[in-house]
A = this chain, B = another copy of it.
Amino acid sequence: MTAFEDLMRHERETQALAQVAGRLGWDQETVMPRGAAEQRGEEMGAMESVLHARRTDPRVGDWLDAIDPATLDAAGQAQLRHIRRDHDRARKVPARLAAEIARVTSVAQAKWAEARAADDFAAFAPVLREVVALKREEGAALATGGDVYDAMLQDYEPGTTAAQIGAIFDAMRPRLVALREKVLAAAPAPRLAGHFDETEQMRLTRAIAKQFGYDMSRGRVDKAVHPFSSGSGNDVRITTRTSPTDPFNCLYSTIHEVGHASYEQAIAQDYLLTPLGQGVSMGVHESQSRIYENQLGRSRAFTRWLHGQMLESFGDFGIPEAGDFYKAVNRVEDNYIRTESDEVQYNLHIMLRFDLERQLIAREIEVEDLEEAWNARFLADFGYAVDRASNGVLQDVHWSVGLFGYFPTYALGNVYAGCLHEALRRDVPDLDAQLEQGETGPATAWLRENLQRHGGLYEPRDTIRRAAGQEPSEGPLLDYLEAKFGALYEL
């Protein structure tokens, strides 16, 4: 066997083990008995230790050195790029530091949950300081002299810099703030009323998942506290949740997760259990979940079809007209919480976090300043004050578990979705006529063909550029939002 074959065989087994570890995560959130939590911690720890040993295996370095990339095709070269990046990353972080981060973030996550319940940022600040110090140290080790925050970003959006993201966000902010103000000054959209049977919500949510092309023979839909998608290749599971008064929570969580899951399912089977066999970045992943959820799922055309389905499922819920139903689906209202936010305001929540975490990593602010900085920025962008920490700086788990560099990929996903949506509308001119029938086939086929099947073959920005036929930029998203909500709220 050649060095490349040896390397890929090793990698394939590593990827298979990573799938097993991921499935343990699914199990934990859906079916695990509660008394198993502590034992599960040891099982996960053992899997992580096996995976870490494989990633830092010195043979990987030897194989990488022995391979002449010129002898490989484009896919082979892309495999090497991923493997080299992971191997370099694993070797740059001392085992002592990796273990310490794992230990402290585990404590910090528990402290965060307590502090959030008590609305007490001061109770969380000491352990967050420890997390930030460790992550700064890790970032410095990864950056090897370069920008620390940029180095962190590479875990989530390889090849993208904070400066690139900052430029996009700076262009978005004034237009989004202005759009938000206008929308909230207009007459509010209607709301659903009544009780929505949760069993029927799950039936309808599964039907809609299939409608969006989710392959149920290689996946499944279960309930969990938080919606998520888990796994790659031929075992990609999603979760959703139900609320008796808010069926949109269930249905749109499902459509969002189906976007993630369909991406994983659509990747070329040639890449199965290899580094190319997964979505290429968090931002590109989020572009898929968002275009399914928003540009398709919350379109006037699709909500017309959905309205009929909901009437069939639940009878009268106070909105007999499809036009009003479209408004209800796209209702914009004041909300402190990012995860409950709408298309207009969501990105403002992200920009706030991006700016704060960049400053924090760059030591321009410290953990002590974080709550005040959060509240000041929120007031500036949203026009009203944060009333308590759980509605502000304590609302998200991310920082407690050390995820610095993750937040911007959510908004980047929206930007990418805007670009893809523009290209999709150009290539599928009768899209709305299809969506009105609940037919998402042409749209999802376009995404599969132009983006999803490539998996990790191209770098994230290249992946979007090739599919959208243009350099990624914020313009299409902003144009789309202004047009959609301008018409909706008759601005």
Closest Cβ neighbor of A272 among chain B residues: B39
Chain B residues within an 8 Å CB radius of A27? 23, 27
Chain B residues within an 8 Å CB radius of A17? 43, 46-47, 50
Query: How many copies of this chain does one complex carry?
Result: 2
Closest Cβ neighbor of A17 among chain B residues: B46
> Which A residues from 12 to 42 make CB contacts under 8 A with B?
12-13, 16-17, 19-20, 23-24, 27, 31-36, 38-40, 42
> Are the CB atoms of B273 and A35 closer together than 8 Å?
no
| Complexed CA–CA distance, A35 and B273 (Å) | 15
> Which A residues from 228 to 248 make CB contacts under 8 A with B?
233-235, 237
Please tell me if A309 contacts chain B, counting CB pairs below 8 Å.
Answer: no
Of the listed stretches A213-221, A351-359, A456-464, chain B binds A213-221
From known contacts A39-B273, A234-B39, infer whether A46 and B20 are also in contact, taking CB-CB under 8 Å.
yes
From known contacts A31-B31, A39-B273, A216-B33, infer whether A20 and B20 are also in contact, taking CB-CB under 8 Å.
yes
> Are the CB atoms of A234 and B31 closer together than 8 Å?
no
> Are the CB atoms of B217 and A34 closer together than 8 Å?
yes
Chain B residues within an 8 Å CB radius of A16? 39, 42-43, 45-46
Closest Cβ neighbor of A19 among chain B residues: B43
> Are the CB atoms of A235 and B39 closer together than 8 Å?
yes
| Complexed CA–CA distance, A33 and B220 (Å) | 7
From known contacts A24-B23, A50-B17, A220-B33, infer whether A12 and B42 are also in contact, taking CB-CB under 8 Å.
yes
Please tell me if A106 contacts chain B, counting CB pairs below 8 Å.
Answer: no
> Are the CB atoms of B49 and A233 closer together than 8 Å?
no
Q: How far is the CB of A55 from chain B (nearest CB, A)?
A: 14
Chain B residues within an 8 Å CB radius of A272? 39
> Are the CB atoms of A40 and B235 closer together than 8 Å?
yes
Chain A facing B: main interface SS: helix
> Are the CB atoms of B19 and A39 closer together than 8 Å?
yes
- Residue total for A at the interface (Cβ-Cβ under 8 A): 37
> Are the CB atoms of B42 and A273 closer together than 8 Å?
yes
> Are the CB atoms of B49 and A235 closer together than 8 Å?
no
From known contacts A23-B27, A24-B23, A49-B13, infer whether A218 and B35 are also in contact, taking CB-CB under 8 Å.
yes
> Which A residues from 250 to 268 make CB contacts under 8 A with B?
none
| Complexed CA–CA distance, A28 and B100 (Å) | 35
> Which A residues from 30 to 88 make CB contacts under 8 A with B?
31-36, 38-40, 42-43, 45-47, 49-50
From known contacts A39-B234, A42-B12, A50-B17, infer whether A33 and B218 are also in contact, taking CB-CB under 8 Å.
yes
> Are the CB atoms of B31 and A20 closer together than 8 Å?
no
| Complexed CA–CA distance, A217 and B39 (Å) | 13
Closest Cβ neighbor of A53 among chain B residues: B50
| Complexed CA–CA distance, A43 and B235 (Å) | 11
The 8 Å CB contact of A234, one of B36, B47, B216, B233, is: B36
Closest Cβ neighbor of A215 among chain B residues: B35
| Complexed CA–CA distance, A182 and B42 (Å) | 55
Chain B residues within an 8 Å CB radius of A216? 33
| Complexed CA–CA distance, A148 and B104 (Å) | 53
> Are the CB atoms of A20 and B24 closer together than 8 Å?
yes
| Complexed CA–CA distance, A394 and B23 (Å) | 35
| Complexed CA–CA distance, A46 and B33 (Å) | 26
> Are the CB atoms of A219 and B273 closer together than 8 Å?
no
> Are the CB atoms of B20 and A43 closer together than 8 Å?
yes
> Are the CB atoms of B220 and A39 closer together than 8 Å?
no
> Are the CB atoms of A235 and B23 closer together than 8 Å?
no
> Beta-carbon contacts of A191-223 to B below 8 Å, as 1s and 0s?
000000000000000000000000111111000
6 contacts between A and B (CB under 8 A): A32-B235, A33-B217, A33-B235, A35-B234, A39-B235, A40-B235
Interface residues of chain A, those whose CB is within 8 Å of chain B, are 12-13, 16-17, 19-20, 23-24, 27, 31-36, 38-40, 42-43, 45-47, 49-50, 215-220, 233-235, 237, 272-273
Q: A17-B47, A33-B219, A35-B217 are in contact. List 13 more A-B contacts (CB 8 A).
A: A13-B49, A16-B39, A16-B46, A17-B50, A19-B39, A23-B24, A27-B27, A33-B237, A35-B234, A35-B235, A38-B234, A39-B235, A39-B273
Q: Which 4 A-B pairs have the closest CB atoms?
A: A36-B235, A35-B218, A16-B46, A35-B217
